[in-house]
Amino acid sequence: MSVKYILDAPSRRKLIALSLLALLCCVVAGWAASRMIDAQREGERLAHVLHRLESLRAAILSNAIPAVAAPDDDANVPRLLADCLQLSSDDAAQQRRLTKLGALLDMRQRQPPINLDQDPQAGPMQPGELGNTYVLLAAHAWIDAMKVSLEDRLALSQARHQESLQWVQWAVAAALIAALLFGLVLIRVMRHLSHQGHARISSLEAKANRDPLTGLPNRRLLQDRLEQAVLRARRRRCHAAVVVIDLDGFKPVNDTHGHAIGDVVLRRVSKRMKSALRSEDTVCRMGGDEFVVIIGEVDDPVYAVRRARDLVLRISRPIRHEDKVLRVGASAGLALFPDDAGDGTELLELADQALYAAKHGGRGQVVTAGEMTHGHTTLTSLPSEPAARLA
């Protein structure tokens, strides 16, 4: 079954929006995590370069004294310059700077400038010694400039790493909140679906157990209600009565005025019987124009007989519908628990037999199973026609 037939439109929109929000947060978190990893790698690379620069400075300082003491032995300077060139292979300006530094090594014949701070007794500096000195000074200057540049780039990389970490934290928090809201909405939707399911089950049960025309319990639910009434009567040590009622004269009304009018009569009769009974009593439609009434927890059997006679009287009142006055009667058969039978099925059979006797005894009467079983009847006819009023 498609989701749109299960969820209502607002719930679908909420779930879709939260799903897209969670997905967007995951994408942002992935992007920020990737950016953070790149910044971390860049920082590690820059830190490694700074470490190599400091190692280069230490190597230059350690070779400065031998370079001055032995001017012809300057093999260390080209190696140091080669290291510098390897470190700055991605910067053309630094490569040009190192090329100029390397050219200083060939200036062996250049005249040294006058140095007023030099000790007069030390004598003038030799050309090779002067070239090495220039190289050392220039290398130190380049290392300082390179270090400042790398430190700036390292600080920028660390700031980008920290910013990416905050993006990751915010994205993860937003994704968790979206997931939580998604779960809450889903729980609400599931509860709504559960209520809908219960309502649908109740509707199906009502259709299965109720008469669609009158809304009364049907034959299927009758047996359960009858068993419950017998159990309660047995537990309380009292009586229960089953009354089977059949309408007299319903067929002529149905044939003369049509099935629509016949349905109106059945609904009116059902309403009259329901209004005449207690809440713990049950009236069921067996089918056609036959009804069964269960009167539970009866202390005096005479009360059940009186209720049955009252039902027959109420049903026999004329029914006014639009411009028509419809007249039907009723006959009833009654069986008592435990006087006549000890279970619901037998009570129903005895009440049906008593109804048969009532219909063949003149109609409009109530016959009890006891009267029918003992061979004598005290049939009670309905009052005369003028006593009945329109309803």
List the Cα angle 314/243/361 in 5-degree steps.
80
- Decide if 238 is inside a domain: yes
Give tens-digit pLDDT for 63-103: 543 443 333 444 444 444 544 544 444 455 554 555 555 45
For the entire predicted model, the pTM comes to 0.53
pLDDT given at position 96: 52
- Decide if 199 is inside a domain: no
Beta bridge partners of 210: 217
pLDDT given at position 136: 61
Over residues 316-321, the mean pLDDT reads 90
Do 168 and 294 have their domain in common? no
> What is the C-alpha to C-alpha distance for residues 175 and 27, in angstroms, rounded to an integer?
10
Over residues 55-64, the mean pLDDT reads 62
Do 180 and 228 have their domain in common? no
Domain that residue 76 falls in: 3-186
Do 14 and 90 have their domain in common? yes
CA dist 160 to 26, 35, 146, 355, Å? 20, 8, 21, 96
Question: Residue with structure tokens 């419950």?
Answer: 228
- Decide if 59 is inside a domain: yes
Q: Which residue has the higher pLDDT, 144 or 349?
A: 349
207-212 own/partner pairs: CB under 8 Å, 24+ apart? 211/284, 211/285
Do 27 and 146 have their domain in common? yes
SS (H, E, C) 355-382: HHHHHHCCCCCEEEHHHHHCCCCCCCCC
- Decide if 270 is inside a domain: yes
pLDDT given at position 264: 92
Over residues 33-49, the mean pLDDT reads 80
Do 167 and 223 have their domain in common? no
Residue 372's contacts (CB-CB under 8 Å, 6 or more residues apart) are: 333, 350, 353, 354, 357
**Range in 206-215, 329-338, 371-380 the model is least confident about:** 371-380
Do 95 and 167 have their domain in common? yes
Give tens-digit pLDDT for 233-264: 999 999 999 999 999 999 999 888 888 999 99
pLDDT score of 180 more than 50: yes
Contact 335, 347 (CB under 8 A): yes
Do 34 and 181 have their domain in common? yes
- Decide if 195 is inside a domain: no
Alpha carbon 140 to chain centroid distance?
Answer: 68
Do 157 and 247 have their domain in common? no
253: tokens are: 């009304």
Amino acid at position 289, single letter: D
- Decide if 122 is inside a domain: yes
Contact 362, 379 (CB under 8 A): yes
Tell me how many domains the chain contains.
2
Do 164 and 303 have their domain in common? no
pLDDT score of 313 more than 50: yes
pLDDT given at position 309: 93
pLDDT given at position 383: 43
Q: What is the average pLDDT score of the chain?
A: 75
Do 176 and 57 have their domain in common? yes
Do 335 and 255 have their domain in common? yes
Q: Which residue has the higher pLDDT, 67 or 319?
A: 319
> What is the C-alpha to C-alpha distance for residues 217 and 229, in angstroms, rounded to an integer?
15
Q: Which residue has the higher pLDDT, 48 or 124?
A: 48
Amino acid at position 262, single letter: G
> What is the C-alpha to C-alpha distance for residues 219 and 287, in angstroms, rounded to an integer?
8
Count CB atoms within 10 A of the CB of residue 3. 9
Over residues 271-286, the mean pLDDT reads 91
Contact 216, 270 (CB under 8 A): yes
Do 226 and 172 have their domain in common? no
β-pairing verdict for 319-321 and 366-368: unpaired
Domain at 354, CATH number:
3.30.70.270
